[in-house]
Amino acid sequence: SVKGLGGTVCYHVRCSVEVHQNNPMGTLRAVRNSLMVDSEFNRGLEKQWSWLHLKKTLREKRSVPLFSLFEDRVMSRLFQVYLFVRIGISLMAVASSSLMYKEGLFQLKNRMILHVCEIIIYLVITIVIGRQDLPRRKVFIRGFTFICIVMVMLQDSLGLMGRSPNMGTFGYGFILIIVIYNYFPLPFNRFLVCLAAMVTVAELLFSVFFIPGAWGYRRVVCNMLYLLAANITGIQVRMVRELSLMRSFLDKRETVISTLTLQYEKAREGTLLSTILPNHVINEVQVDLRSVISSPDTSLPRRSPSGHLYVERYDNVGILFADVVKFTQLTMALPAERLLQILNTMYAGFDRVAQAHNCVRIKILGDCYYCVSGLGDAGEGHSRNCVLMGLEMIRLVRGIRKSVSVDLDMRIGVHTGSIMSGLIGFHKWQYDIWSLDVTVANHLETTGKPGFVHISLETKRDLSDEEFTFQQSDSGDQDNFLTRHNIRTYYVTASDAIDQMLSRQPSFQKVYSRSELEGRTPGFVMDPHMELEIAEQAQKEIEDYINEMPLRNIDMCKRKEDIHPLFLHFEDGSLSEDFRNEPDRCFKYCALFLTFLSGVKYSMQLLELGSSRFIPWFSGLSLLAQILFSVLCWFSTFDSYLWSHHRRFAMFISCSNVTKILLTTSEYIATSFRIRLTFFLIIVTLSNMELVWAKGDQKDEVSSEMGPLRYWHITSLCSIKLCSVLMFYRTHYFLKLLALLSHLITYLSVRHKHVVSRTASGDDVCKDNIPAYTFYLVAIIFLFHIFDRQSEYLSRLDYLWKVKLHERQQEAQVTRTISKMVIQNILPAHIAEMYLSQACEKMKPYCENLEDVAVMFASVPNFTDFYFESDLTEGGLKCLKILNELICGFDSLLYMDEYRDVEKIKVTGSTY
């Protein structure tokens, strides 16, 4: 965990000391290795939140246009909310002007007309911004539009529509600058900064040339510092939001890609399992495989990978055994690669025929192929399916005669009865069938004639005389097993109608030529273009999500995102603590820009409160402490930079205990919620204390000339302190609201004392300013709270994406492990690696000549006699359990060192 990072660093330091005591020659190497490990980890975390790295990642993933759409969607919704607020302010201005005006009728009429025009303009902009089909790529048009918007807002801020004489020395330029940075749906670039600079210069010029007063340069400098504070706040908050949006977008992209990859991995897993298991048991095996993988016991397996011996009984199923006649001659007549091509295409044809006739291939044993019809299907026609498949197999193999010089043919036996089916062993495990009826079908094949389907009387009873012709066979009389069980046998041939139906099936030449042209790519090989396809599909899904992303409370109610639409808490309470304790890699920006803001505030206090001696000292010490704290927050970033660009110097200074302490402290600040919360509470407390002490000396309070400036100075200080609260991006929005309200209450209490003092001196100017100044601060708090709510929602949404990403990645890893386990249980290890490789564009059938090998067949020859089906053996289940214990015992020998070079091929029946 990230929280354990500090402990990890200390652990490496202790190891270094122990090495120094025991082996002085290894001190430098041990220290270097431990510090390099820690620095690599820290640098990886820092890199994930690096501005340049995130921009580079977006370009590499070709997601810059999509991120721009995502950012525009988020910022457009926020800008709409701001426009609604401006409309509300304008409506209030119209109402107040009409009810409590002290001007002439002509001036009132002009002001109301201008306010109504402003409302209409804002409504039009709100509707236009809300449209999703706007041409967003026309940068010039969008830029010009927002310049016009700024001009409309600026003239209102500067009071060109008529400023109240009691507004004193300020307009709403401070708010407008912050709005430009954090509410305008424009990318964070030079154009946005230029818009804010335009407002800054306009406000400064207006304060110099149009605001009356005789306070000299201090007034101009204070206004300049005040607007500088607005720019610092806007840049910091927009920068952190931009980082968070980029990180959120990339996390969402990875979540979508992981979901698509998981779907692919599950499909591949299903394809793998379907090559060795019937479909009706795949789901059960998948669940049990996951339980084996997730089990804490990772020692040598002592049970089947399927978790237990899957054995099920099926009645009235068709059983087919087929053998390729003269297979040995074929192996000697053809080279290995050509032989493999023929066999691969032939068995692929058998699989296609089996699928067409609802048969399930059980296993291939060299020249033997056997399958079953009726697994998990209680219907009828299973005997017919097997006979039709047998006839078509004969037809397919006879087509090979034209391409090889061997007179190949098929010998096929079909029987109808009951089977026990399941998995056996735990290494190279495969699905198999057992029963007396299986043995009967096997003997029907061995006693049959080439080119014929040899069936039993049980199978004949299920076939129609109109579709097939039967000829009684005496081959069964020559087999002791068939004779002992009184099995009557027949040879079956197809009628003319069945022949015509089979003749419409693709011939072997067509199947073979198609295989030659296309190759045969196993279903478990990853297409090298799959990653590109997944990325393209992810782009489309993300675009759809962005267009439908819920950003309003009503939208969040309609779409369940596991976040409460009103209180913005997780519906799953267990996520709240983890979210709260998540590291904040952007906290260093908060600490740095808070220091800049405190510097601006300190300069304003020196200019405006020169008569007060205590406040500059107090603010100066606070500023110094914040500088030291910022250095601590940025030390890990500085360390990462040194390791990236000046590794030798980084290794040199990292040997210092002071460096280790600073690095550990820096990481602890970024990962500790308690430290960040404590710092937040300290800043809020000190800000309120400064407001209380900002009333200045009593002689200045009663000065009629300095009074209005003093009141505006306190208001501006309170505005800056509200901005300091906004900079804590990851702090809970409700805590920030409480902090904002505490500043407002402190400000009102201070102003109340001023009112009492000024009333005693007979000056009522301050009473007239109170509503305007208070409304100004309330407007800031309201806009900040709206911004904080959306930031909180986006942060929690990003965290949900991270949680889902982690779950998808874990599930994909488990699925990938299952796929690897399955393929390694089918093929030898070195061949499995070839088939698991994702670099192969077209996997060809594997072929390898081995000149010096030993081959072993081990069997339990009397298992057939031992196996019997009765109530005592639970229909043969107990016999199979004993066989499974034997096979598992054989498998366990393969894990011994002396037998590691022995490769198990397969188990069939009771033969290993």
Residues 171, 203: Cα–Cα separation, whole Å: 8
Q: Which residues of 365-386 are buried (b: 16+ CB within 10 A; e: fewer)?
A: eebbbbbbbbbebeeebbbbbb
Sign (positive or negative) of CA dihedral 200, 201, 206, 208: positive
- Do the strands 430-434 and 360-365 form a parallel or antiparallel pair, or are they unpaired? unpaired
Which residue, chain included where needed, has tokens 């002992």? 484
420 in a domain, yes or no? yes
889 in a domain, yes or no? no
Q: How many CB atoms within 10 Å of residue 3?
A: 14
Query: pLDDT, tens digit, for every residue of 500-546?
Result: 776 666 554 454 444 443 444 444 444 556 677 777 888 888 888 88
Regions of the chain with pLDDT less than 50: 1-37, 135, 137, 160-169, 214, 298-307, 508-509, 511-526, 554, 610-611, 697-706, 839-841
513 in a domain, yes or no? yes
Q: How many CB atoms within 10 Å of residue 802?
A: 19
Q: Domain containing 434: what range?
A: 307-518
Residues 518, 886: Cα–Cα separation, whole Å: 43
- DSSP string across 182-212: HTS-S-SSHHHHHHHHHHHHHHHHHHHHTS-
- Residue 251 is predicted with a pLDDT of 87
- Residue 1 is predicted with a pLDDT of 34
Classified as helix, coil or strand, 424 is: strand
- Do the strands 368-373 and 468-473 form a parallel or antiparallel pair, or are they unpaired? unpaired
| Residue ranges in 49-160 assigned as alpha helix (H) | 51-60, 64-99, 105-130, 139-157
Return left, alpha or beta for 731; rule: phi > 0 is left, psi -120 to 50 is alpha, else beta.
Answer: beta
Residues 50, 636: Cα–Cα separation, whole Å: 13
849 in a domain, yes or no? no
- What's the domain count of the chain? 1
Specify whether the CB–CB gap between 798 and 240 falls below 8 A. no
444 in a domain, yes or no? yes
> What separation in angstroms does the CA of 539 have from each of 252, 543, 602, 738, 811?
11, 6, 49, 40, 22
Report which residue type is found at 742: S
385 in a domain, yes or no? yes
- Residue 163 is predicted with a pLDDT of 44
Which residue, chain included where needed, has tokens 């040339």? 209
- Residue 51 is predicted with a pLDDT of 86
Specify whether the CB–CB gap between 310 and 281 falls below 8 A. yes
Which of 186, 79, 183, 177 is closest to 142 using CA atoms? Answer: 186
Measure the N-to-C terminal CA separation of the chain; round to a whole number of Å: 48
Specify whether the CB–CB gap between 291 and 307 falls below 8 A. yes
pTM of the model: 0.72
Which of 137, 159, 139 is closest to 147 using CA atoms? Answer: 139
Q: Which helix (H) or strand (E) holds 511?
A: helix 508-518
- Residue 213 is predicted with a pLDDT of 54
Check which CATH number belongs to the domain holding 512 and give it: 3.30.70.1230
**Residues in contact with 706: Cβ distance below 8 Å, sequence separation at least 6, in sequence order:** 700
